[in-house]
Amino acid sequence: MLAHVVHHAHPDPKKVVLICGGDGGTFREVLRHTSVEKVYFIEIYEEVIKVSKKYFPKVAAGIGDRRVEVKCMTAPSLCGAAGTISTW
């Protein structure tokens, strides 16, 4: 539900950054919106993603979507000194 409320706060979101959504459920919901072209999925622990795929495949189903780019890193390392998202 939370993903839909935030999504509708922007007039036409194309790119979404989701930080620490390990099980994949939130970005699965984000991907339901046709305007979304890219989801940057930031998770600190790669093991969380693996466990989610294994034990919660319906929740983690969106991880394999072509629009999803997974990065295993900390949120602070994602942001530069000015607080902007780094180029990948």
Average pLDDT over residues 6-28: 78
pLDDT tens track for 33-79: 888 899 888 888 889 889 988 998 888 888 888 998 888 887 777 77
Q: Where are the domains of the chain?
A: 2-78
Amino acid identity of 27?
A: F
CA dihedral sign of residues 35, 77, 26, 66: positive
The token pair at 23 is 């099980």
The token pair at 24 is 């994949």
Partner residues linked to 45 by β-bridges = none
As to burial, measured by CB atoms within 10 angstroms (0-12 exposed, 13-18 middle, 19+ buried), residue 47 is exposed
Separation between Cα atoms, residue 44 and residue 63, nearest integer Å? 15
CATH fold label, 2-78: Rossmann fold (3.40.50)
